[in-house]
Amino acid sequence: MSGTQATRRWRFLYTPKWLGWHLLVVASVIGMLWLGDWQLRRAQAGNSLSWAYTFEWPLFAIFAVFFWIKTIRDEAHPGDEAAPAEVSLPAGTRQAPAAVASRDAGEPGEAEDPELAAYNAYLARLGKEVKGHGRWHGLR
């Protein structure tokens, strides 16, 4: 990936709309941390309920940052979320080891064939790679 391409991908972050959101997130995170600090002071002053909020507010601040990062990343890579868990065809890759295993099931004694294990590991790796990918159709 070239530098200019990467720059272009992230350029949307400087648009007025996004700058507004950045500002909002920063302000709300500061606000939430301040509220957490305020609750901590109240808790130390003897308000036992405030202990719960002392931990909740920073947690909400972390959520805000996390959600913000996730949103920005999704915006920069729109294709990533295209195929979540609903990819249908890795089923084939998952069935294969089962089929092989059932064929070998008639012979007890041999717990694990190293070759079969390696093959299964390969299939598992393949399945994992394909999962977020969603373009398996043409390859079969």
**Residues that bind another protein in the complex, under the rule CB under 8 A:** 21, 49, 52-53, 56, 59-60, 63, 67, 70-71, 74, 81, 84-86, 88
Q: Supply the minimum distance, in Å, between the C-beta of residue 83 and another protein.
A: 10
Q: Supply the minimum distance, in Å, between the C-beta of residue 27 and another protein.
A: 13
Give the residue with the Cβ less far from another protein, 95 or 124: 95
Give the residue with the Cβ less far from another protein, 85 or 99: 85
Q: Supply the minimum distance, in Å, between the C-beta of residue 93 and another protein.
A: 17
Give the residue with the Cβ less far from another protein, 69 or 101: 69
Give the residue with the Cβ less far from another protein, 86 or 112: 86
Question: In the 3-class helix/strand/coil scheme, how is the chain assigned residue by residue?
Answer: CCHHHHHHHCHHHHCHHHHHHHHHHHHHHHHHHHHHHHHHHHHHCCCCCHHHHHHHHHHHHHHHHHHHHHHHHHHHCCCCCCCCCCCCCHHHHHHHHHHHHHHHCCCCCCCCCHHHHHHHHHHHHHHHHHHCCCCCHHHC
Q: Supply the minimum distance, in Å, between the C-beta of residue 74 and another protein.
A: 6
